[in-house]
């Protein structure tokens, strides 16, 4: 049974364009179109779609206001379409704060150079966000032998979950996974709510994220105290016009200082450095102290700009095993190889748990390969970092 999609945009041309692209996938069906946020809310209640695509700027009710109402009244995953401008970035971040789970550039040529690739990316995101299943296991805290407060593990599935029947009861949606191709085994990660300090030496914290990352990063970083005694390196898959606005927003909401990383920045404790979109961020120590290096890498073997793997691999050369690396929600497997390198040097690796991830792809990648020591809910990661470091 196909996943149901509602397309919301005040342009009939754009609605038709999105509808035609999505309907090319037999697992997706556009069941309705709305031209403003108010219509969207009414149609969500009557049509019960699995996913909504939403424009930001619309008459009667804009996309941000609509998302707030949707999350209050009829929760469903919402993907925002946004212009790649600084103002568009701020509006999109507002929509993510309101509850939207992901965004894409409204101009398809800004998603990918090839239009067919852009259409594939859109269909893939919609499909992944529609694949959500209710939690079948009630999680209850229990104390593990190692002094870690754990939760019962939810097995990482080895195949995509089936679509819910169209008449299935709809409650608040549970975000679920993008699954790694070719995996046949199921892995039961240890899911914890608290950690006991290991006594390990640290010199830096590194965090990688993609889909769902902006909200997750804000939640983690806002817990860290002023005067946090280590530098923090952040890699979030995001367009270049968005990262400066995102860094500014994080800096306003966090006690630590956050900035978009610039070439030549001298790394300081208590600062978080966000990799600029469309470029690669590495760290070197050629001048005797760690410095940020920003490059315009076009290497064919690097699928993301910025890339978590690229940044993490560079950290292995500067900080070695004195690193706590955390992989948050996101599509794909970026960060897995960087974590493999860091773990080989003695670094500690954590991953966000499936239940709190928008898409479990990146955390699953490091969990399935047994790189992540534990999975932790996004609500607990910040406090666990403080305890451990």
Mode of pairing for the β-strands spanning 142-143 and 149-151: antiparallel
List of residues 6+ apart from 212 with CB closer than 8 A: 101, 102, 175, 328, 329, 330, 357, 358, 359
Query: Tokens at residue 37, please?
Result: 């946020």
List of residues 6+ apart from 355 with CB closer than 8 A: 135, 139, 154, 174, 175, 377
Q: Say how many C-beta atoms besides its own lie within 10 A of residue 246's C-beta.
A: 25
Whole-angstrom Cα distance, residue 33 to residue 350? 41
Q: Where are the alpha helices (DSSP H) in the chain?
A: 12-23, 37-47, 63-73, 86-98, 115-130, 213-221, 240-253, 308-318, 336-344, 361-368, 378-388
Q: Where are the alpha helices (DSSP H) in 83-235?
A: 86-98, 115-130, 213-221
Query: Tokens at residue 277, please?
Result: 């979109």
Whole-angstrom Cα distance, residue 350 to residue 367? 9
Active site residues: 210, 237, 334
Instruction: Give the H/E segment covering residue 52.
Output: strand 51-55
Helix axis angle for 240-253 and 213-221, nearest 10°, is: 30
Whole-angstrom Cα distance, residue 285 to residue 231? 14
């Amino acid at each position: 049974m196909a996943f149901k999609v509602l397309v919301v945009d005040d342009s009939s041309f754009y609605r038709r364009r999105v509808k035609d692209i999505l309907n090319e996938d037999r697992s997706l069906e556009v069941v309705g179109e709305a031209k403003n946020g108010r219509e969207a809310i009414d149609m969500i209640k009557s049509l019960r779609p699995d996913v909504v695509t939403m424009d930001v700027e619309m008459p009667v009710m804009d996309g941000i206001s609509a998302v707030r109402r949707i999350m209050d009244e009829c929760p469903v995953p919402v993907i925002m379409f946004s212009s790649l401008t600084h103002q568009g970035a701020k509006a999109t971040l507002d929509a993510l704060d309101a509850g939207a789970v992901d965004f894409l550039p409204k101009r398809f040529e800004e998603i990918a150079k090839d239009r067919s690739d852009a259409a594939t990316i859109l269909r893939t995101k919609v499909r992944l966000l529609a694949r959500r299943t209710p939690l079948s296991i009630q999680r209850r805290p229990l104390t593990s032998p190692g002094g870690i407060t754990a939760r019962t593990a939810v097995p990482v599935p080895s195949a995509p979950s089936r679509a819910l029947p169209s008449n299935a009861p709809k409650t608040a949606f549970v975000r679920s996974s993008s699954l790694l191709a070719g995996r046949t085994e199921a892995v039961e990660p240890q899911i914890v709510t608290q950690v006991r300090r290991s006594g390990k030496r640290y010199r830096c914290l590194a965090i990688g994220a993609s889909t769902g990352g902006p909200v997750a990063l804000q939640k983690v970083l806002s817990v860290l105290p002023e005067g946090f005694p280590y530098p923090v390196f952040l890699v979030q898959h995001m367009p270049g016009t968005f990262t400066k606005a995102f860094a500014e927003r994080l800096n306003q909401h966090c006690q630590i200082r956050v900035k978009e990383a610039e070439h030549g920045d001298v790394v300081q404790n208590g600062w978080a450095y966000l990799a600029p979109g469309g470029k690669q961020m590495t760290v070197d120590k050629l001048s005797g102290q760690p410095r940020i290096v920003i490059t315009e890498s076009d290497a064919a073997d690097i699928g993301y700009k910025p890339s978590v793997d690229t940044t993490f691999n560079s950290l292995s050369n500067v900080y070695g095993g004195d690193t706590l690396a955390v992989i948050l929600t996101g599509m794909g497997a970026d960060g897995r190889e960087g974590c493999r390198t860091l773990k080989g040097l003695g670094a500690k690796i954590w991953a966000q748990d499936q239940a709190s991830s928008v898409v479990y792809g990146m955390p699953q990648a490091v969990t399935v390969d047994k790189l992540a020591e534990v999975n932790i809910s996004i609500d607990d990661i910040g406090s666990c970092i403080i305890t451990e470091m």
